[in-house]
Amino acid sequence: MNQFADVLSILGYLIRALGFIVLGFGVGRFTMDAYKKAVWQVQIALALGFFGLLVGLTNYASAGSMGMFALSSGVAMILSNMLKKEETEEAKKE
């Protein structure tokens, strides 16, 4: 019976990591998309909200989960900047 609990524990850690990957990517992508279209007051609120969420979750999540959140939000921010450059290059060709 103890082995079953261990398997469920490992499964729980994997699901938590996957959840933080999805959360980090979604929050990072939303922040970057809304940041570029907003006035400076909203940009400040978005930045404070993003970093507030990052700092606030450190009290409730493990270090591995927060690492997954930080990595996936970083990937989302890098991808949002890369996609915009490709779109502008295509617009210049036309």
Number of neighbouring beta carbons within 10 Å of residue 76 = 20
pLDDT greater at residue 25 or residue 57: 25
Percentages (nearest 5) of helix, strand, coil residues in the chain: 90, 0, 10
Q: Return the pLDDT at 89.
A: 65
pLDDT of residue 54: 84
- Report, as an integer, the average pLDDT of 3-18: 91
pLDDT, residue 39, reads 93
